[in-house]
Amino acid sequence: MPTDVPNRAKIEGRYNVLIVGAGYSGAQAAAALRQNQFPGSIAIIGEEPDYPYERPPLPKDYLSGEKAFEHILVRPPAFWSEKNIDLSLGQSVVHVDPKARRVRTREGATFGYGSLIWAAGGAPRRLSCAGGALRGVHSIRSRADVDRMMSELPDVRRVCIVGGGYIGLEAAAVLSKTGKAVTLLETAPRVLARVAGTSLSRFYEEEHRAHGVDVRLNISVERIEGRNGRASGVLVAGRHVVDCEMVIVGIGIDPAVGPLLRAGAQGVNGVDVDALCRTSLPSVYAIGDCAAHESQYADGQRIRLESVQNANDQAMTVAKVLTGTPIPYQAVPWFWSNQYDLRLQTVGLSSGHDLAVVRGEIPSRSFSIAYLKEGRIIAFDCVNATKDFVQGRKLVEARARVSPRLLADVGIALKDLRADIAA
């Protein structure tokens, strides 16, 4: 445990609000409760030893060394005691008793609650193949993960990244910029296949290749080769070995909801919540990456979002509920990703689109893509095009019906297209 973090592991007792998970959503929920004048006792139990911090910088400016850890904290350390929020760090909740309204930690402490907010995020998926646990194989979920990687990097010349999602691509950008030889392996026929349209995937593949990253698609990993207990290469289908000294695995997370589901909460992919973030257990709420809600932006389907926007807005929702002013969660999803000098901002959810309209010239590296379904706008991906992101958001919220021809005309600002919205 870092010396500047008080060891509060001995704090036990009954809290009006007990939060499990000292990550972004847990921290924001506690802060929002105080902002909304919640007078009762609040404690946060967190598995990690650190004060709550933001994860987005981990594969970006924290990995590149441009941001120190104290600059990625959600709040300054003094905030928590000033707001009378108890932090119990380095403890993992393993059991929830919804009848007695108590939780127990692996370390043996018991905490009672009036209301429980489950904000435990998720654990990075590991490779199930042989060699997945060798030294030199890393995930990027926590500060500790990145610190471990950074301590090894001086001895690393070649990095193999498994997974072409946002985290893998961001790490590829930082590491290739620092001179490492980076190979990126993706099982799907394109990067970002789960979250973006084909044109955006192709654009990012080309950008990474232009920066020297060896992007390989349609490739599955058979095993990690090792030498003296350390990863030395990745064997891919076809019996070819990609030699490397470090492997980074970015293949998604498994929501951390085991204790809640064992206590009887409903959920398949994470834990199910309603529009007020209530689980099926009495007085138990769930927020952030681990919570599955029905989204109007996904045609009412139950989805889990892994984004700062969702973590923050669900934290606000639960704080409002617990201070007597419930407002159902309906926020439009948005996200960002920084790679090289490209700032991608997305709004809405593009999956299921039947038409993609490009605004601007993709080679200019400043453009946006509008996604439509049955004639209505459902999402925008904006690359170095913040104005479109800001203005497009309203069109997504309205599920506006806009002529594709007008949408493609960069001479017309998106805000002026509203006049062309047909009912």
Ligand X SMILES: Cc1cc2nc3c(=O)[nH]c(=O)nc-3n(C[C@H](O)[C@H](O)[C@H](O)COP(=O)(O)OP(=O)(O)OC[C@H]3O[C@@H](n4cnc5c(N)ncnc54)[C@H](O)[C@@H]3O)c2cc1C
**Taking the CB of residue 366, how many other CB atoms lie within 10 A of it?**
18
CA-to-CA dists, residue 66 to 24, 53, 62, 172, 320, angstroms: 21, 16, 6, 16, 36
Binding mask 306-335 for ligand X (x = CB under 6 A): xxxx-x-----------------------x
Q: How far apart are CA 196 and CA 247, in angstroms?
A: 25
Which of 289, 313, 381, 388 forms a contact with ligand X (CB under 6 A)?
A: 289
Task: Supply the minimum distance, in Å, between the C-beta of residue 245 and ligand X.
Answer: 21
Q: How far apart are CA 28 and CA 323, in angstroms?
A: 15
Per CB under 6 A, 22 contacts ligand X: yes
Q: How far apart are CA 301 and CA 293, in angstroms?
A: 8
Per CB under 6 A, 62 contacts ligand X: no
Shorter beta-carbon distance to ligand X: residue 47 or 205? 47
Strand arrangement of the beta sheet that strand 291-294 belongs to: 271-272, 291-294, 302-304
Which of 18, 19, 26, 204 forms a contact with ligand X (CB under 6 A)?
A: 26
Shorter beta-carbon distance to ligand X: residue 23 or 348? 23
Q: Are 272 and 279 in contact (CB under 8 A)?
A: yes
**Taking the CB of residue 387, how many other CB atoms lie within 10 A of it?**
12
Among the listed residues 268, 298, 289, 297, the one whose alpha carbon sits nearest the alpha carbon of residue 280: 268
Residue with nearest beta carbon to ligand X: 23
Shorter beta-carbon distance to ligand X: residue 48 or 381? 48
3-state secondary structure of 97: strand
Per CB under 6 A, 21 contacts ligand X: yes
| Exposed / middle / buried, residue 148 (Cβ in 10 Å: 0-12, 13-18, 19+) | middle
Q: How far apart are CA 358 and CA 407, in angstroms?
A: 8
Among the listed residues 262, 260, 308, the one whose alpha carbon sits nearest the alpha carbon of residue 116: 260
Binding mask 160-199 for ligand X (x = CB under 6 A): -------x--------------------------------
Which of 59, 197, 333, 392 forms a contact with ligand X (CB under 6 A)?
A: 59
Q: How far apart are CA 202 and CA 399, in angstroms?
A: 26
Task: Supply the minimum distance, in Å, between the C-beta of residue 59 and ligand X.
Answer: 5
Shorter beta-carbon distance to ligand X: residue 89 or 402? 89
Choose one: 1-9, 115-123, 125-133, 359-367; the region binding ligand X (CB under 6 A).
Answer: 115-123
Which of 19, 47, 221, 271 forms a contact with ligand X (CB under 6 A)?
A: 47
Q: Are 357 and 369 in contact (CB under 8 A)?
A: yes
Which of 90, 98, 121, 348 forms a contact with ligand X (CB under 6 A)?
A: 121
Choose one: 54-62, 157-165, 231-239, 350-358; the region binding ligand X (CB under 6 A).
Answer: 54-62
Torsion sign, CA atoms 17, 18, 22, 26 = negative
Choose one: 22-30, 295-303, 322-330, 386-394; the region binding ligand X (CB under 6 A).
Answer: 22-30
Task: Supply the minimum distance, in Å, between the C-beta of residue 227 and ligand X.
Answer: 28
Query: Which residues form the interface with ligand X (CB under 6 A)?
Result: 20-26, 45-48, 55-56, 58-59, 92-93, 119-121, 140-141, 167, 256, 288-289, 306-309, 311, 335-337
